A and B are shown apart, each in its own frame.
Chain A
Amino acid sequence: MVDMLEAARLTPSVERAALYLRHAADESRHAKLFLARSAEIRREQGHAPLASPTADTEGLFAALGEEFFLAFVHLGEAVALGQFRIYIDYFEAKGQSANHALLAGISTDECRHEEYTRSLLVALSGSEDAAKKAISRARRWRAWRAWRRIGRNLSGGLHGLLMVSLYIICAPLALLIRLVTPPKGGWRQLK
């Protein structure tokens, strides 16, 4: 949602700003619906509801430019819609009407998001072919992001190991620090 708000603020087009704001409002409504349903399920199981998720952004609009941003959002909506359809069928088969209704309602919006981002992308890039190219580029970029995420996790693990080793090596230093600079309460003179 935050990325859509940023897009609404930064796009030079008033028409697109209005569409992005509507999109953000939809996403905000979806988050509330998911949260409400999650709270219902947790209540049935005797648990307290979960916290509202904290909004996050990667500053995609400013980083990617509007055309690529639209391709990325379009792709995200298409992937989400595909996943939603699997869940809709699953919940229908299981007879879980509340979950089915929730996802079916939201998927209508997702479908609209997928369509409007596609139309805007075609208009902005100038042709159907150019839009397809932008979407392919966005697909490659998604894969690259996934790869980077794996890389980050791997390097995080390695960093952790190295730091713990360093920590153990620092044990004598820790003893020295405790002796020389024990934490003191009360006033320290600054002058």
Chain B
Amino acid sequence: MSVVLGISALYHDAAAALVVDGEIVAAIQEERLSRIKNDPSLPFRAASACLHRAGLEARDIDTVVYYENPYAKLERVLLSLMRAFPRTWRQFPRALGSQLGSKLWVIDQLAEGLGVERKRVEFVSHHESHAASTFLCSPFEDAAVLVVDAVGEHASTSIYRGKGAALTGLQSVDYPHSLGLFYAAITAFLGFRVNEGEYKVMGLAAYGTPRYRDEFAKLLLAKDDGSYKLDLTYFAHHIGVENGFSRKLESLLGPRRPSHRPWNLGTDEDQHYANVAATLQLVTEEAMLGLARQAHTLVGSANLCLAGGVALNCVANARILAESQFDRIFVQPAAGDAGGALGAALLGAQRLGEGRPKALSTAALGVELDLSRALNVATEMGLRVRRVDSPADAVTAKLAAKRIVGIASGPSEWGPRALGQRSILALPQERDVRERLNRVIKEREVFRPFAPAVSAERSSEFFLGVDGDMSPFMTTVCSVREAHMESLHAVTHVDQSARVQAVTAQGAPLLHEILAGVARHNDMPIVLNTSLNGRGEPIAASATDVLSFFARHPIDALLIGDLMIERGS
């Protein structure tokens, strides 16, 4: 038996993934257990939870694989700080403190924290981890692999050839030129938090018009071969400034938007920022298309695997599928840095002689529910809790009665999307649902769309171009068919798109059953599906997190396993 633990940490979204005998057994982000959103700290809780799921202990681990090369990373940090001398004098002490204080010793810290021998802890490169995390989990025998993120050791974009179980690196664009950091800088300019606000920018973009093409052409210079270059005078990531943009960018696009000012898209001022978001999104999509075309030219495969934080841009993914030469695209659900843990574990397993795992068919790789504890704690809290014979029927009945219902079923999801294991559901036909969810429960900006979950078998009746590889993990968007736009108002974005989850019985069994029940009620196997978390919180994972969510947010009912909890005394 081979047991490999993959680890990603110390930038954002730390995670652990466990591969046993070459198969993926568990994958968990540290934030789900520490309850700190995007927690970057070494994921000892997640590692322990992964081992617990497999019934293993630390002494059973053959290899621990860290997702990047800490020494190459230190080299890059030092080089870029020195290159920008003397403008980096403020950042130098902090960056060096962080690198020499902890990041450089990560291998030793992992060995000590996990209780394994130092010689059993290895590392692979950042982009190789990303590439492995998507290609090795994909259903493709061969594929071009495109990794686009902020930065790894040196590369910020890279192209690999995937064939069988082998990955071959072909080309890279190196830091400080980075599509991820370009998107991040404008995200910060728009007043959102980097590494968290990018989804909001994507949602906001649909409310704007891409009016600033000329201005953006100065920021990102795309070449015919798909590569690109940033005009660094507009940016500040390379000199270590946190928001990533310079004053020159404000001279070009106007003053930055103050963070946390409530949005009002009826004002000219906020419409300007929506236009900036729209231009950013368009330019990013075109850059991604250029990269995809180059990947196709180099590899020649009909399949593309995407990874890295930019691969979570589902609007760009949809355009790549529609407009590039690729027939199929796969994006692993945790495409960002967390996914590096999975890739590292799979590469570690290969080093031990294991082959590729089965293609990923579900994101339910996380924390299991302790139902007996849930029942006891809920009872002790004085909640109205009862066991139900058919959880799906119980939820369907609540939805049909226009209720908003939380569900927790099986292991929690891997990646940033709630895919039916820790979700809040409602019927999308209800006009006031979106408003209530946005304002009272999720407390988020009104321009952010909600996503529909639809039974995979009937998805094409309601949506155009549902993709069988990406839609199960909600990593692309489709158009809502015109005939259903009115009835699906709550899950249709302003540009008539929807970030559809095509639900299969294998991927999310309870949600699939609920959709069948909903179809019996109104002949539309569709629900609004949003994540079971409040503003600024990670998605709930354990039974106590789920109960805590119910105690703090006014949803109408909650299903945990076969326990139905309702409001009222």
Q: Which residues of A contact B (CB under 8 A)?
A: 2, 5-6, 8-9, 14-15, 17-18, 21-22, 24-25, 28-29, 48-52, 54-57, 59, 159-160, 162-164, 166-167, 170-171, 173-175, 177-178, 181-191
Contacts and interface: CB of A to CB of B under 8 A. Distances in A.
Nearest to A160: B93
B377 interface: yes
Interface string B524-554: 0000000000111100001011011001100
A2 B167 CA distance: 41
Interface string B369-410: 000010011001100000000000000000000000000000
Nearest to A27: B552
A163 B93 contact: yes
A174 B85 CA distance: 6
Given A17-B380, A57-B35, A187 B535 contact: no
Contacts of B536: 52, 54-55
B228 A185 contact: yes
A61 B527 CA distance: 39
A187 B227 contact: yes
B552 A191 contact: no
A48 B548 contact: no
Contacts of A186: 173, 223, 225, 227-229
B83 A184 contact: no
B261 interface: yes
A52 B93 contact: no
A183 B175 CA distance: 8
B195 to A, nearest CB: 12
Contacts of A8: 377, 544, 548
B169 A177 contact: no
A188 B174 contact: yes
15 contacts: A5-B548, A8-B544, A14-B373, A22-B381, A28-B534, A48-B259, A48-B260, A56-B36, A159-B93, A166-B96, A171-B86, A178-B83, A185-B227, A185-B229, A187-B225
B34 interface: yes
A40 to B, nearest CB: 13
Contacts of B36: 2, 54-57
Given A167-B85, A183-B232, 7 more contacts: A21-B381, A50-B260, A52-B536, A173-B82, A186-B173, A187-B173, A190-B171
A191 B170 contact: yes
Nearest to A43: B262
Interface in B149-173: 155, 158, 168-173
Contacts of A184: 174, 177
B123 to A, nearest CB: 18
Nearest to B372: A14
Contacts of A173: 82
Contacts, number: 153
A46 to B, nearest CB: 11
B82 A21 contact: no
B258 interface: yes
A57 B552 contact: no
A29 B552 contact: yes
Contacts of A51: 193, 259-260
A14 B551 contact: no
Interface of B: 34-37, 79-80, 82-83, 85-86, 88-89, 92-93, 96-97, 155, 158, 168-177, 193, 221, 223, 225, 227-230, 232, 238, 258-262, 294, 373, 376-377, 380-381, 534-537, 542, 544-545, 547-548, 551-552
A166 B373 CA distance: 56
Contacts of B535: 52
Contacts of B34: 2, 6, 57, 59
B44 to A, nearest CB: 10
Contacts of B83: 174, 177-178, 181-183
B171 A49 contact: no
A163 B89 CA distance: 9
A183 B176 contact: yes
A50 B547 CA distance: 28
A48 B259 CA distance: 8
B177 A55 contact: no
Nearest to B171: A187
A18 B227 contact: no
Nearest to B84: A174
A167 B89 contact: yes
Contact of A9 (B92, B223, B534, B545): B545
Nearest to B34: A57
B35 A6 contact: yes
Contacts of A21: 377, 381, 544, 547-548, 551
A59 B172 CA distance: 40
Contacts of A50: 260
Contact of A190 (B35, B158, B545): B158
Nearest to A182: B83
A190 B548 contact: no
A174 B227 contact: no
A14 B383 CA distance: 14
A137 B499 CA distance: 53
Given A57-B36, A185-B221, A17 B170 contact: no
Contacts of A49: 260-262
A5 to B, nearest CB: 5
B243 to A, nearest CB: 14
A181 B79 contact: yes
B376 to A, nearest CB: 4
A103 to B, nearest CB: 21
Nearest to A157: B93
A171 B82 CA distance: 8
A124 to B, nearest CB: 17
Contacts of B259: 48, 51
Contacts of B225: 186-187
A2 B79 CA distance: 38
B35 A55 contact: yes
Contacts of A28: 534, 552
A49 B170 CA distance: 48
